[in-house]
Structure 1
Amino acid sequence: MQVQAYLFYNGNCEEALAFYQKAIGAEVGFLMRYGEAPPEAQCGGTESAAAWKDKIMHCNFTVGETQLMASDGMPDSPPTAMSGCALSIAVDGVEKGRQLFDALADGGSVQMPYQPTFWAKGFGMLTDRFGIGWMINCEQ
């Protein structure tokens, strides 16, 4: 059994994927757009289906050895903020951690700057520009 995070981007999944490719070396695997689904599987009304045809219905991408899944969400569904969880990246080196932290923080908000702590050589918490929480940790 494997548990994977599934991230919803409220209509800007493609922008998020491009950001993660540049910021943290993410690699996109499978990607399907709403317009590629058969008509009987389309979500929302006709107007929504037309507006969302180029939006991402489902994709997977990898960061390091971890696969994540993502989508633009559902047409006609109100956006919801991610809360109660964060994605955590364990790094081997302090400088690598700082590099990833700074890249993810671009356009986002920092809750705890990347710095040494009593448990780690480097640790920081942020919310990226897409509302996804991240923690970067370089253990002692």
Structure 2
Amino acid sequence: MKIFPYLNFDGHAEEAILFYQSILGGELDGGFRYFSEIPGMDIPDSDLHRVMHVSLHVNKQFKILASDTLPSTGKPFIMGNSNYLSIDADSKESGAEIFEKLSAGGSVEMEYQKTFWGAYFGSFQDKFGVCWMINYDLKHGES
């Protein structure tokens, strides 16, 4: 299992990650993904170019994950929700177990579930106010 920082921005994720990359180096894994790419979601034009996800791999041991908040869904940027700890689980089952245990008594933002981008993912704030994301990238042939 690996744990990485996940940063949220108020419409400046792309600018911030490119700034970090200019200083720290690294490669963007998969480029920038935007909220406009979500199938079937009605998003106001003002939010379409906000970053849904980006991953900057600085080296083999460290990466910075980031996105913009999406105010149109009622989840505006609030100082304090700008940092998450993101766990890359070893399996979808271990991800589900970690999600269930860490989210107990907290506030779930997105249930741990299969996503359109080929992963199991969930996010929540634990009972102590710490924000977490649990992710498991599906391997070829897994569902």
When the two structures are superposed, what TM-score results if normalisation uses the length of structure 2?
0.47
Larger Rg: 1
Report the TM-score, using the length of structure 1 for normalisation. Answer: 0.48
